[in-house]
Structure 1
Amino acid sequence: MNLNAIKIGIIIFLLAAVVVIHHLPIHGFLGKHILHRELFFFPIVMAALWFGLKASLITAVSASIFYAQFFYHNIDSSRISIAVVGLQVTGFNLMALLTGWMVNRQRRQRRERDFLNETFGKYVSKAVRDEILGGRVTLNGELKEVTVLFSDLRDFTRLVETTPPREVVTIINTYFKSMTEAINAHHGLVLQFIGDEIEAVFGAPVALEHHQQWAVDAALEMRTRLSRVNLDLANQGFQPLQHGIGLHTGKVVAANIGSTQRLSYALVGETVNIASRIQELNKDFDSDILISAAVRQGLERCIEMHPLPPVPVKGILEPLNLFSINPTT
């Protein structure tokens, strides 16, 4: 017997017990059924707390029928009137409505909160999610120093043109799932998927110490995970994937941005543009992870990398000093 069946049995038993007590020949104060009618509220409230509005109304209607039926056959106008009985029956149903509505409302809010937690948890780590949902960070706009990560698949357009759509979706979702897990594991936030590109941030909306190190560690894990993804894809008969990752540290404006119909948490500023350009430069240097000097300066431990010649970038006054992380790192 499951728990709900036991609860239903308890409610029925209480309702039956009150009906029996209600019909006992009790004299004096209790004989006026002051206590009897109050006892009917117990099964009504229990039904509401355990099962919600529908069950509480069913119990209230049942209690009303039993209560009214007794006075219909045993009416004594000198002690109680039809109006009093009607008022009491109304009280039963009002109690059921109020309690059941409150319980249903709380359950709906809990389901919505759980759904939000579960959905939000797919995009951020548990720690970041809890900070945001707990109201301990602002989403209305703030200037923050962060590390921005861009990742882009190589030759994916050609793959799309030569692969059935269903298989393309399988491949891209497999890749995104694995890369997102790597980013989340290092306290990053995936901001958006743009075609076959991933944009992520470390240090927003929740401040993160040593965000440069966390971002580089995430990029290294993404490299490792890509090998595993390619192994899985090879077992399914698909060609291996290659990607390029670019990292840059700087100031951004971080906020909920959009229209009244749709908002998204986004970053605005030159730092974002530079990170995207760095990711694209992987093609020129035949590399898979490039970081800026600003990222390198914030690292907490030594990582094998080699410097590249300063690179002029359109829209940026000073050439970028970049470093390529060794493939064996």
Structure 2
Amino acid sequence: MKPAEWDDGCACPSYMSLSDRLPPKDRLPLTASETQQTTKAPAPGEDRLEQAERRGLRLAIICRTIAVGAAFLWVGGTWAFTGFYPNPWIFVGLGAFTAIGIGHASLIGTRFDRWWMKYAIYLVDAIGICMTFAFFPISRSGDVPQILAFRAYGIYYLFPLVAMATLSLSPRLVLWTGAAVVAGWWTAFLIVVSGMERTLSWGDLTPGAGYDAYVGVFLSPDFIGNGNRVEETGFLFIATGILALAVVRARRVFRAQVRAQAEREQVAATLGRYVPEAVARRLIDDPAALAPQERHAAILVMDIAGFTAYSAGRAPGEVIDRLNGFLAGCAEVISRHDGVVIQFTGDGLMASFGTPIDSDAPERDAIAASRGLLDEAEAAGFSIRIGLAAGMVASGSIGSSSRQAFTVYGDTVNRAARLEAHGKMLGKAVLMDTAMMGHAGEGLERFDRQELKGLADRVDVYALG
């Protein structure tokens, strides 16, 4: 069964993309249930992204525990070396923070884990720190205005919370934490201010006020600095937005890498049907190998002799099953000799040696593959004809932006096809041109000045014994 593309006047056969070579069942339209299953299937890498989020949450808990431990050391060191006696409730609070974090870490990834827990723990942290500024006395004597806590310390105690939220790779958690910190900071500030009898701020300075006026306002225990709170929370929220954007970009990069890896694995699996795994990997790792180029190669064209007569009177399913089994074995033979199946032609195939994969001796590989194909055909009960030609071959990917196939073309390709067809006239299984002859060893039979259909000049051909 010769394809129409190999009729006279055509320099080379047409080529199918890898998707064309897939079994028909792989190209059938999806049923409604299959479509529903497909739409419900998670995107590639989502499970890995969820695992990364869980690991990030655990890492955040570790950082949180380290921070609490540092606070223990700081407070305890202050007590030991300066004689400052801290409020014992601070140790209770730090211990509670540690217990909550460890408890959450033990639940991450278990059946008891819930989506809201990570939001709750960051909210508790934000509230706990902010309420410390509102209610924890600066001095045990109780006569120091609580507003000085906002001036002596500051919102930078809350920045680590937002930074640790980024470890979760969840932009929502980052924004939630930033919003909780800002809301908690302002709530604590307003609670303290609401208990003051008199307040001063930057607006109480008159235009052109001098040194004494500035010092008098700024150092006053009634100075609350509304503008300072706006600046603090404004910069914190800007930083939160930037960190959330960074997490979004990191997730996109992660997904892109996972998709690329999945595509590479899919292509490798598909190519693995036609070429050795090492060859498939090389094609994937070196896209330039598929770029249009001209190089020396050997072309093998194989066809089953008498296949039309064989298929007559047999059920189509039986014919296709047997043909598929035989061609699969032929593809394996070609792969073992570092050849690449370019095209399946109904009851035959065309393969190249030396392109797109480099070969030190493409002629030798093609001849060895021919002998293997003869053995394969004998085992399957088929008779085959093979045409072999070597020379310069144009190769590369052709097609549209959405559908491409690797192809080879040129005089060498056409000559191999004509030699295969001429084998029927001479009654020979394997014919090759002069370029192949020097690599075949002894036992060749020479046929001088043969006229090959479709070629202008007569050529010498050789039959493999």
Normalised TM-score (structure 1):
0.75
- Alpha-carbon separation, structure 1, partners of 2:433 and 2:151: 87
Aligned partner of 1:193 in structure 2 is 344
Aligned partner letter, 1:290: L
In the TM superposition, what is the alpha-carbon distance from 1:28 to its structure 2 partner? 7.7
- Deviation, 1:83, is 4.3
CA-CA distance at 1:30 after TM superposition: 9.7
Aligned equivalents of 2:324, 2:461: Cα separation in 1: 34
Q: Secondary structure at the match of 1:198?
A: strand
Does the residue aligned with 1:321 lie in a helix, a strand or coil?
strand
Name which of structure 1's ranges 205-214 and 86-95 shifts more when overlaid on structure 2. Answer: 86-95
More displaced 10-residue stretch of structure 1: 286-295 or 82-91: 82-91
Query: What secondary structure, in the 3-state scheme, does the structure 2 residue paired with 1:277 have?
Result: helix
Q: Is the 8 A contact 1:305 1:323 kept in 2?
A: yes
Question: Counting strand residues as a fraction of each chain, which structure ranks higher?
Answer: 1
- Cα deviation for residue 10 of structure 1 reads 5.6
Give the aligned partner of residue 423 of structure 2: 282
Read off the aligned partner of 2:450 and give its amino acid letter: V
Q: Aligned residue for 2:299?
A: 148
Residue 134 of structure 1 corresponds to 286
What amino acid is aligned across from residue 292 of structure 2 in structure 1?
A: N
Q: Superposed, which structure 2 residues align to 1:59-70 within 5 Å?
A: 59-64=173-178, 66-68=180-182, 70=184
In structure 2, the partner of 1:246 is 387
Residues 87-106 of structure 1: pairs in structure 2 closer than 5 A: 87-106=238-257
Residues 1:223 and 2:223 are matched in the alignment: no
CA distance, structure 2, for counterparts of residue 120 and residue 226 of structure 1: 23
Alpha-carbon distance in structure 2 between the residues aligned to 1:180 and 1:310 = 33
Deviation for aligned residue 1:197: 2.1
Say which SS state the counterpart of residue 111 (structure 1) adopts: helix
Distance in 2, matches of 1:12 and 1:61, equals 19
Q: Secondary structure at the match of 2:360?
A: coil
User: What's the CA shift string for 1:249-276, capped at 9, x where partnerless?
Assistant: 2233333344566443323322222211
Who is 1:34 aligned against? 156
1:217-250 CA distance string (max 9 Å, x none): 111122233345x2xxxxxxxxx33322111122
The 5 A counterparts of 1:1-329 are 8=54, 11=57, 14=60, 17=101, 19=122, 22=126, 23-24=128-129, 25=132, 31-44=153-166, 46-48=167-169, 56-64=170-178, 66-68=180-182, 70-71=184-185, 73-76=187-190, 78=225, 80-81=229-230, 83=234, 86-125=237-276, 126-127=278-279, 130=282, 133-135=285-287, 137=289, 139-142=291-294, 144-228=295-379, 230=380, 240-258=381-399, 262-299=403-440, 302=441, 304-308=443-447, 311-314=450-453, 315-325=455-465
Larger Rg, first or second structure (1 or 2):
2
- Residue by residue over 1:9-54, the C-alpha shift from the partner in whole angstroms, topping out at 9 and shown as x without a partner, is 661673674846542447689952424323433343x333xxxxxx
Alignment partners' CA distance in 2, 1:262 and 1:309: 43
Equivalent AA in structure 1 for residue 184 of structure 2: F
Extract unaligned runs of 5+ from structure 1: 49-55, 231-239
Percent of matched pairs sharing the same residue: 19
5+ unaligned residues in a row in structure 2: which ranges?
1-46, 62-99, 102-120, 134-148, 191-223
In structure 2, do the counterparts of structure 1 residues 249 and 322 end up closer, same or farther at CA, with 3 Å as the change threshold? same
CA deviation map 1:105-146 (0-9, x unaligned): 22223323333333344333424751574245462232x332
In structure 2, relative to structure 1, the CA distance for the partners of 1:109 and 1:31 (3 Å cut) is: farther
CA RMSD, Structure 1 to Structure 2 (Å): 3.6
1:318 is displaced (CA, Å) by 2.0
In the alignment, the residues of structure 2 paired with residue 140 and residue 14 of structure 1 have an alpha-carbon distance, to the nearest angstrom, of: 51
TM-superposed deviation, 1:211: 1.2
Residue 152 of structure 1 and its aligned partner are, at CA, apart by 0.7
How many correspondences in the alignment?
Answer: 303
